[in-house]
Amino acid sequence: MNKKPIIGISGNFIMDKGGMFPGYKRAYVNDDYVKAVAMAGGIPYIIPIVNDEDLAKEQMSNVDALILSGGYDVNPLIYGEEPKQKLGAILPERDKFDIWLLKEACKMNKPVLGICRGIQLINAAFGGTINQDLSYDENCYIKHFQETSPSTAGHTVEIVEGSRLNSILSSKVTTNSFHHQSLNRVAEGFKIAARTKDGTIEAIEKEGENFVMGIQWHPEMMSSSSPEMLNIFKELIKNVKKV
């Protein structure tokens, strides 16, 4: 019997605001990531944040692919900028951890999918930059942080012809949107795979054969009702190298 691939999902921290342990730190990911991986045919594993590079590398060695999940803003010091007024909350501990996982996954040629914060982390880790708020991008006019249900498609995304993402999705899709930052300068070795009509970058791909893709919207929130969005996770799993 063929073993299903193990898909690691980078974890996050949440702080209790009340209850018995106010301020208590908990490790978690949103359940939609877990459901999407399971529906796509993988075994979902949450990878909790650790402050030890060797341990993070061991964590990565025990999974077959990596999903970098959403969450805090990426620390702008990583991409050589000082924090601007509209920067949101950052968590440097998580930035460091996610970069350890990402670099190790790439070193081991394991497929990577970055979602929302994940695309921004990938871009920053490889030398690109980020608009710390959409208001700093003079071309942005589309509403990128919707106030409707997570599974509702909010705006149009145009997929670049010939991209890997184009082979997964059609040339134009409608997606949800929950971000206040966006990619600015794309990292060397990556190419743009999708944009919105105002030019905001919605997907990037690493050049070459290895599957390293970043997506700005949240396909995991749409995957229960959208076969197209579920196909993104199926493609990640398909690219797991069989040993």
Q: Report pLDDT digits (tens) over 43-59.
A: 999 999 999 999 999 99
Distance CA 84, CA 90 (A): 12
The conformation of residue 181, written as its DSSP 8-state character, comes to -
The per-residue pLDDT for 2 is 65
DSSP string, 79-147: GT-PPPTT---B-HHHHHHHHHHHHHHHHTT--EEEETHHHHHHHHHTT--EESSGGG-TT--S--B--
Count of beta carbons in the 10 Å neighbourhood of residue 124: 24
What pLDDT does 3 receive? 87
Catalytic residues: 116, 218, 220
Q: Which residues of the chain have pLDDT under 70?
A: 1-2, 242-243
pLDDT value, residue 20: 83
DSSP 160: P
Q: How many CB atoms lie within 10 A of CB 182?
A: 24
pLDDT for 187-233, tens place per residue?
999 999 999 999 999 999 999 989 999 999 999 999 999 999 999 99
pLDDT, position 243: 43
